Amino acid sequence: MNFSTLNTYGKNKIMNHRKVPVQRYEKGEIAITSDNLAIETVIRLVCNDINIATLLGSPSDINHLLIGHLLCEGYLGIDSLRGSVNNIESNCDSNGWQLSIELPSNLRMKPKNTGVTTSSCGACNNDGLDQLITELPFATSKPQIDESILFAGFSSMEKMQEGFAKTGGMHSAGLMSIGGELITVSEDIGRHNAVDKVIGKCIDVADFEKTVLLLSGRCGWDIVAKAARAKIPIIASIGACSTLAADCARHLGIRIYSFVRGNTSTIVG
């Protein structure tokens, strides 16, 4: 399968960074100069006239952010979203971006307040896994891969992280085939948004059950949940994974490779 068009930067691409005036301190001296900072903006996601979420994120690939968020957060399934990215209406004003879409599907609405916080205080032994995995689907397959493709995939992804190279302040997510072909990459100031974007970009072209999700940072249980809803069976991260991510992955049949370095990694699942 040829994914080259997904990896081509368009001439009218929305930039993720902006040059701003700053003061730079160096060797005891302060000088007026400029620096590239990652753009952060309000992004409102609307589906069937329902306000799904208001996020802070980067403005590139935001149509794909809406599609990926609807899938990865469990509002709609893959079949309901295929072919829908061109139906998104996007508007930008002084209050940020709004992305809207009308789909012939009923949304699986989530409770407004789950009572769950995503940082553990460490004060008890009950991590609440049962509550978090109640509605998550099990992986339908766990394909075998040549582990050497992971580091190669990250090396290829790094070359496409234009926002990070400019600002040092952006996360990246990539989707790679189990054969080692990097399908595409997305960046965002938020790591969850980067995952939503890259999955949204691939919804019409990739068989998610035969892909690997690449993360430029760490892997928490919420990223495992997004992969599960997209039917992605393998996650690889440069950073660590959490206990809930490990337990959730084992329960759902997903494999996590963390601390991917050269020919080494830590495997869970």
**Are the CB atoms for 197 and 230 separated by under 8 Å?**
no
What is the rounded distance in angstroms from the CA atom of residue 92 to the CA atom of residue 59?
Answer: 10
pLDDT at 127: 64
In eight-state DSSP terms, residue 161 is -
Please report the DSSP string for 173-219 in residue order.
Answer: EEEEETTS-EEEEEEESSHHHHHHHHHHHTTTT--GGGEEEEESS-B
pLDDT tens for the chain, 269 residues long, are 445 445 544 444 678 888 999 899 999 999 999 999 999 999 999 999 999 999 999 999 999 999 999 999 999 999 999 999 999 999 999 999 999 999 998 898 765 444 444 444 343 445 677 777 778 988 988 899 999 999 999 999 999 999 999 999 999 999 999 999 999 999 999 999 999 999 999 999 999 999 999 999 999 999 999 999 999 999 999 999 999 999 999 999 999 999 999 889 999 98
What is the rounded distance in angstroms from the CA atom of residue 265 to the CA atom of residue 240?
Answer: 10
- Judged on CB neighbours under 10 Å (0-12, 13-18, 19+), 13 is exposed
Q: Which CATH superfamily is domain 135-268 in?
A: Cytidine Deaminase, domain 2 (3.40.140.10)
**Are the CB atoms for 214 and 175 separated by under 8 Å?**
yes
Domain segments of the chain as ranges: 135-268
Strand order, beta sheet including 264-268:
182-188, 171-177, 211-215, 234-237, 255-261, 264-268
Catalytic residues: 121
Question: Could you tell me the two tokens for 154?
Answer: 């990250």
In eight-state DSSP terms, residue 59 is S
Residues in the chain: 269
Whole-model pTM? 0.88
